[in-house]
């Protein structure tokens, strides 16, 4: 039996074991997907263990998407560009870092959100690894303006600077005074952990309904719970909503293919994730 797992801290919310194990079982693969809850001071030891011949690699989630990079042997082009890794693949003892968040987010935005970001104004909440991936996607797709809001404004300004001179990017705090509806955003994406089940901020929305323009698309990368505090605020404001499950599955499908070389069974993965989240499976593909 070979093993693969998810590295993060905490991990009580994760449904990755459910849908990835379902995918391995669907193909009849002798692989076990494990949960490796890893505080920051234990990250090095866990990553070193991935060099073992029985390890396929790992998914990487908060707070390790940037911290893991120095521990790897090489990075894919998307991971280098973004500066964040959410997937590790063991290639005969050499560890490759990948970023599948970029492709996963864009597919979810276009297919499930039915949203074309070209020429639109976007608000990005957060400045961590997921925010870096989303920011790069939105700029590559030609957004007219990107505002990055973070609880610590210095981190938002650093991410804006990292995105390059000349990019249509600004940085603000999460204070309501900085997030007036006058921003005219067509798209709002939450990349923070506010609203995440079993977290300190699980009952909090990063912004109130008063800061959400009616008709905007509000996308929350938090998928557990399926309806987050932010999505409830968005509905009050008359905005459209997109939860984080499609992006989770799409990035996980790309991970599955990189680990195994086999096509990911999307329907099986969606069904398993929905069962784990206790929500009706109304998706046929």
SS (H, E, C) 8-58: ECCCCCCCHHHHHHHHHHHCCCCEEEEEEECCHHHHHHHHHHCCCCCEEEE
Whole-angstrom CA distances from 55 to 22, 62, 136, 152 are 18, 21, 30, 37
**Dihedral over Cα of 130, 123, 254, 142: its sign:** negative
* Chain centre distance of CA 204: 19
262 is catalytic: no
Q: CA distances (Å), 81 to each of 64, 75, 191, in order? A: 17, 9, 18
In order of 9, 202, 246, 249, the CA distances from 199 in angstroms are 10, 5, 21, 22
Residue 137 to residue 210: CA distance in whole angstroms:
27
Write out 180-192 in H/E/C secondary structure: CHHHCCCEEEECC
Which amino acids are annotated catalytic? 65
């Amino acid at each position: 039996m070979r093993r693969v797992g998810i590295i993060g801290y905490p991990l009580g919310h994760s449904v990755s074991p459910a849908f990835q194990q379902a995918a391995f079982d669907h193909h009849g693969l002798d692989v076990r997907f494990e949960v490796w809850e890893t505080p920051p001071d234990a990250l090095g030891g866990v990553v070193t263990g991935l060099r073992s011949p029985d390890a396929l690699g790992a998914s990487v989630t908060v707070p390790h998407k940037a911290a893991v990079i120095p521990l790897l042997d090489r990075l894919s082009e998307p991971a280098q560009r973004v500066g964040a890794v959410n997937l590790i693949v063991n290639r005969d003892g050499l560890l490759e870092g990948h970023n599948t968040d970029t492709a996963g987010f864009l597919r979810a935005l276009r297919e499930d959100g039915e949203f074309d970001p070209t020429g639109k104004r976007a608000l990005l909440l957060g400045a961590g690894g997921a925010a870096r991936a989303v920011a790069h996607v939105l700029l590559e797709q030609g957004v007219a303006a990107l505002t990055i809001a973070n609880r610590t404004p210095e981190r938002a300004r650093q991410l804006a600077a990292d995105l390059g001179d000349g990019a249509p990017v600004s940085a603000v705090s999460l204070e309501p005074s900085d997030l007036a509806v006058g921003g005219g955003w067509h798209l709002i994406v939450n990349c923070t952990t506010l609203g995440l089940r079993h977290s300190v901020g699980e009952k909090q929305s990063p912004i109130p309904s008063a800061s959400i323009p009616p008709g905007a698309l509000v996308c929350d990368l938090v998928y557990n719970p399926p309806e987050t505090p932010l999505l409830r605020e968005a509905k009050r404001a008359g905005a459209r909503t997109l939860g984080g499950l499609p992006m989770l599955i799409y990035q996980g499908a790309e991970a599955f293919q990189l680990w195994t070389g086999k096509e990911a069974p999307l329907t099986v993965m969606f069904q398993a994730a929905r069962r784990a989240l206790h929500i009706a499976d109304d998706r046929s593909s």
